[in-house]
Amino acid sequence: MPAPADYAELVARVAAASTAEGLTLTRRPIDELGLDLLRVDVAAQTADAARVGLFAGVHGDEPAGVAAALEFLEERRWTRHPSVAFSVFPCLNPTGFTLGTRENADGVDINRQYDRDDTPETRTLRAMVKHDAFDAFIDAHEDPDEDGFYVYAFLEDPAWHPSIVQAVAERGPVTGKAEVDETPVEAGLISVGEGRTQAEAFQEYMQGGDWPLPFYLYSRGMRSGMTTETPGQIDLATRVAMQHAARARLLELLAAARRKGA
């Protein structure tokens, strides 16, 4: 099924998919917009489940993450991971998605607003996750200017990072560049640079304000996550498959780690 043409179609399809047993749809009004932000909670099928947050569509011109989140619900892909409870946020920027723009309808990049409540979209999302404590999260993005995948990863086990890139490489191209947006890249993995830990890098970045969503989640104690960046210069179907591959490999690794630690 093709990606939704606009936010209204997305809402309708999410609502239809959420009638499946074990799914709960929450619609939270976004002040000033006359629209709802959507959250779908997927109950785990086992006790002591891992809790995973799936976020997409913070930039309206990055549709692969939104399409992948929608397919995750419509195709019942959560059933492949019975030991995981999911909270799915299929589109964080409703007006930008409909317009096909990075920013919202007011021209604001909401992914620089998560350290404050200045915009309705970030204010609403912060309220929706204030009681959550995800064991891992994925913030699905795209880079419209790139022809290869890369990822910002800070998962609980750094050994997982290359495994995720390898899974994506089986579906589409990974960047061979040594730098993206003036940031070092090593085999598709964004590097924090020499001589500092990921925690030190995060603290340095966060001091400047203008937080993207992962910084906000990190500040809330959620220290295991990744931002996937599929390449906007290739076809949408391949990009969606790459998003699925990254998510599936992370979930496999997370489940294996929990079984080993049980």
- Domains of the chain, CATH where assigned: 7-261 (3.40.630.10)
Query: C-alpha angle 187/191/194, rounded to 5°?
Result: 120
pLDDT at 191: 75
* Type of residue at 170: E
Residues in the chain: 262
pTM above 0.85, yes or no: yes
| 262 residues of the chain, pLDDT tens digit each | 788 999 999 999 999 999 999 999 999 999 899 999 999 999 988 878 899 999 999 999 999 999 999 999 999 999 999 999 999 999 999 999 999 999 999 999 999 999 999 999 999 999 999 999 999 999 999 999 999 999 999 998 989 999 999 999 999 999 999 999 888 999 999 977 666 777 788 888 888 889 999 999 999 999 999 999 999 999 999 999 999 999 999 999 999 998 887 5
Cα distances (Å, whole numbers) of residue 262 to 47, 48, 256: 12, 10, 10
